[in-house]
Each structure stands twice: as structure tokens, then as C-alpha cells.
Amino acid sequence: MSLNAFYRMTNPVQHYEWGSRTALTTLFGLPNPEGAPQAELWMGAHPNGCSLVEVDGAPTRLADLIAAHPEATLGASAAPVGALPFLFKVLCAEKALSVQVHPSKGQAQAGFARDNAAGLAANAPNRNYRDDNHKPELVFALTPYQAMNGFRDFAAILALFQLVAAPSLASLVSAFAAEQTPSGLACFFRALLTLQGHAKEEAFAALHAAAMAHREEETFAAVLDLFEQYPGDVGLFAPLLLHVVTLAPGQAMYLGAGTPHAYIRGAGLEIMANSDNVLRAGLTGKHMDVEELLSCTRCEPTPAEKIMLAPRLEGAVQHFDVPVPDFTFSVYPAGQHELHSASAEVLLAIDGELSLVQEGASLSLQPGQSAFVPAVTGCYRVQAKGRFARAGNG
Ligand SMILES: [Zn+2]
């Protein structure tokens, strides 16, 4: 088979139970006759949800197209790996996702080898590491998008827990107050994650009372939301530990290794390295390994001004630069654009029709539709009636 300049993608939807039942329909007109949760639309070549492209009239997995032409689809930099280095998603959360930390590449390599040596099956639920890659990620808000990202500073965490004033947490809070350092926070975090029995129930009762009394504040309003969604879960403390932020549409955040975070509600675009490595810290029924989590967590405050990722502007084009080679992400305004694919690319029409043109080839996309552009395509033109997102790794 010979390569086309552009491929229309047919993308799988993941129906995780925290997904919105309306967002993909509202944003992109995607039908949802059964009213199922539509959590994530995946654009990529991941084995757990691979996009389809049309090759010689037949629906073909994007992964198979890439495997047949690694160099021409991926370009020289990614061809040796033989897989798309990134996964691009539309994510629509109605309920919070788990609080989580992603390992660094070194931690993932060591941890994956350890899990393999321990004889854990690839899909074992108690496996910490699914692969040997890091999982940096970037999220770009399409609607107001509430999330938790990074530790608050030590004094702010202490003030919130002092306000909750749970008797069963008093000695832990004083110990942290006496040692306001990363290791002091690590001890405090570990103690919260491993609370049991009566101490845990009493702490939740105090937390709930404080949240009711301060429900007009975003932090405590988030705690109350989470009480409804995840009763009895240690993640209920997370809004006191982590910054609670709401991205305005068009704002973005980058989550590097070691930063605890959770998405609470909203629709956005998410792009990440090709990995499934997630260490959980609450708001989940899935496996949690507190010690492994802590070994991968940077227990340091994230300064408030570092939470958002401001774009680098090139005219009206927004480039969201990240400190990893796994992906690039840019948002283009309506208009005419001359582009050059230096890697495999995925273009997603956000809020207007998009036409991709190269001599002898053209493809038009409606909002919510995406195209795969092989590295070998090179120069092409885009006529956009609205914004579009461009993902790549070159
Ligand atoms: Zn994450």
C-alpha cells in the first residue's frame, strides 16, 4: 500500500463511568443514543483503543498502517521505536478521576523491570507499572475545567488542616507543623493515605463539617462534591493538600513526573506520552501502593504561578512548549496556514470546518473530527474556519 497525504481518523470512545453523557454531543455533535458516559475520545495507535484509517477502501488500524511504514509515518526520530510516541484525547469528566502521580522515565524503567521480575501478569490489577515509559501530560481546557495540580505550600496545607481541626489528626498536623519540609510533608501524606478505622471516620466527620461551614470557597465546595462521588475515600483530603484550580477555556496545564494531580470536572484536550503508568493516591477503587507512590512523588510545593502553562505565541498560533520530546501541542486560529509535517501528526478541528490540502490530495474535517498526517507528507496547507489543534512530536 502507498501512503496518502492525509487520513481521516475514526476514533474510539472510552465509556469510563466518570465520563460526561453530554459533553461530546454538545461540543462536537457526537451522537449518544444510549446515554452512556463518554469519558474519552482517543486519537492515536494505542493497543487499548486504536483509531481506524481507511487504506485502499478498507478500515485499517492506525497501528497497522504505522507498522507497515514506520519511517514514512513516524519520521526518522520515532521510527526506531515503531510506535506513535503520543496519545491525543478529548477528555470529558463529569466525576473526578483518581488523584495520581506519574513516574519519571528512570522510575518507570526500574519499576516495570521489578514488576516483571516479580512475575506479575501484564494486566495484573496489583501491577504498579504497565510499561517502561514516563507519562508526562498536557491538558487544554475546552470548557471550564476544574482540577487539582501540585502541592500547596506547607503553610497553606497546615492552615486548611488546622481549620478542619480533626482530633484524630491533631498529632499528625503538629508533627508536620514542626517539620515543614518535603520529608515532613511526605510523612503527613503517608499518614493520611493509610488512615484506618475510627481515626479515619472521625477525620472525615470533621472534614465534612468544615466543608459545610466553608462551602462557598472553591476548595471546600470541591471537598463536598467529592464526598458525594467517593464517600470514605482517602482522596477526600486531596483538595486540602493540592491546588484546586479551574482552567478557563483555552488555558492549559502541563503535568510532569512526580506531581500529584486529579481532574475534577470539565472537557478538554489531553496529550500524553505513550504510557499507562499511573500511581494512584485516592478517588479510586483501583490498586494503591502508598510506598511506591511516595517514592515517585515530589513532596514540594508547586508555586501558584507555575500551575498554568502559558503558550509561546507565533502570530496568533499558540505553541504549548513542554520539556519532553514525546509530544508537541499547538492551537491554531481560523485562517490559512502553511504547515510542514516533521513527524507523525494529528490535527483536530475544534470549532470550525478544516480543510487539509496538498497537490492532488485534500481532506475536510468537521469540528470533533481528526486527521492523521504521516511525517512523509511534508508541506501542506490548511484552511480553517475555526480553531484547530495540532499534535506531533517533531
Ligand atoms: Zn495524569
Q: Domain of 347?
A: 312-392
Residue 14 lies in a domain: no
Q: Partners of 60 in the beta sheet?
A: 53
For residues 337 and 321, what is the distance between their CA atoms, to the nearest angstrom? 20
Residue 333 forms part of a structural domain: yes
Query: Catalytic residue among 280, 298, 387, 390, which?
Result: 280
Å from CA of 102 to ligand 1 middle = 6
Q: 296 lies in a domain?
A: no
What is the pLDDT, as a whole number, of residue 284?
85
Residue 280 lies in a domain: no
DSSP string, 97-159: PPPEE---HHHHHHHHHHHHHTT--TT-TT-S-SSS----EEEEESS-EEEEEEEPPHHHHHH
What is the pLDDT at residue 78? 80
DSSP one-letter code for 281: -
Contact 137, 270 (CB under 8 A): yes
pLDDT for the residue 1: 53
- Please state the pTM of the whole predicted model: 0.95
Question: Mean pLDDT in runs of 10 for the chain (394 residues)?
Answer: 90 94 94 93 93 95 96 88 93 95 95 94 88 94 98 98 97 98 97 94 97 97 96 95 98 96 97 91 87 94 95 98 96 98 96 95 97 97 98 92
Cα–ligand 1 centroid distance for 253 (angstroms): 11
Phi, psi of 231, deg, nearest 5:
-60, 135
**Is 280 marked active-site?**
yes
Burial track 105-125 (b if 16+ CB lie within 10 A, e otherwise): bebbbebbeebeeeeeeeeee
Residue 288 inside a domain? The answer is no
Asked, for residue 354, whether it belongs to a domain, the answer is yes
* DSSP label at residue 302: P
Task: Give the pLDDT confidence score for residue 286 in this predicted structure.
Answer: 85
Helix (H, G, I), strand (E, B) or coil at 296: coil
CA of 263 to the centre of ligand 1 (A): 8
What span, in angstroms and rounded, lies between the C-alpha atoms of 46 and 31?
A: 23
73's CB contacts (< 8 A; 6+ apart) are 3, 65, 66, 344, 374, 375, 376
* Ligand 1 ion: nearby residues, β-carbon < 5 Å: 100
Q: Could you tell me if residue 47 is inside a domain?
A: no
Sign of the alpha-carbon torsion through 147, 153, 157, 160:
negative
Q: The domain that contains 364 carries what CATH number?
A: 2.60.120.10
In a domain, 106, yes or no: no
Measure the CA–CA gap between 253 and 311, rounded to whole angstroms: 10
Residue 231 and residue 240: Cα distance in Å, rounded? 16
Q: 191 in helix, strand or coil? A: helix
> Looking at the 3D structure of the chain, how many domains does it have?
1
Rounded to the nearest angstrom, the distance between the alpha carbon of 376 and the centre of ligand 1 is: 31
Q: Which grid coordinates belong to 74?
A: 513516524
Q: Ligand 1 centre from 356 Cα, in Å?
A: 32
CA distance 256 to 326: 12
Give the span between the Cα atoms of 10 and 12, in whole angstroms.
7
Record the cell numbers describing residue 56, joined without a space. 485502499
Per-residue CA distances from 286 to 21, 54, 264 (Å): 23, 37, 17
